[in-house]
Amino acid sequence: MTDAFIDSTDYVDGNALGGALRQVFAVDVTNAQGRCAGCGNVNAVGTTHVYAHAAGAVARCVSCGDVLIRIVSAPDRMFLDFRGLSFLEIPVPDGR
Ligand SMILES: [Zn+2]
């Protein structure tokens, strides 16, 4: 990760992933807490920095800039890569 990329303001917040993630998850994942596998920072998915200028969207850690989530959508499928997270804690409505 270069400092120039981390300093870039050419991103939106992680709430931009809400629509895509809502297609495959029954709950709102933007409220989920994820831990960066790179630096250990824990934040809500909705607070990540999302770069959506390529074929898909890339969510980066607000602390170290490492890639946390990649999402690529095709007409009939979606590719999800969460390897940048060491965990994702998803709130379950009503404790279900
Ligand atoms: Zn990090």
> 58 C-alpha vs ligand 1 centroid, how far in Å?
14
The total domain count for the chain is 1
At 5-21, the pLDDT tens digits run: 555 778 999 888 888 88
Q: Give the span between the Cα atoms of 93 and 8, in whole angstroms.
A: 36
| Mean pLDDT of all residues belonging to the chain | 87
Range(s) of the domain holding residue 12: 3-95
Asked if the model's pLDDT at residue 30 lies above 60, the reply is: yes
> 49 C-alpha vs ligand 1 centroid, how far in Å?
11
Give mean pLDDT, residues 53-77: 91
Q: Give the span between the Cα atoms of 63 and 37, in whole angstroms.
A: 12
> 64 C-alpha vs ligand 1 centroid, how far in Å?
4
Neighbours of 92 (CB within 10 A): 8
> 37 C-alpha vs ligand 1 centroid, how far in Å?
7
> 67 C-alpha vs ligand 1 centroid, how far in Å?
8
Query: What pTM was computed for the model?
Result: 0.81
Asked if the model's pLDDT at residue 65 lies above 90, the reply is: yes
Give the model's pLDDT for residue 41: 97
| Per-residue three-class SS string for 73-93 | EECCEEEEECCCEEEEECCCH
CA 67 to chain centre: 8
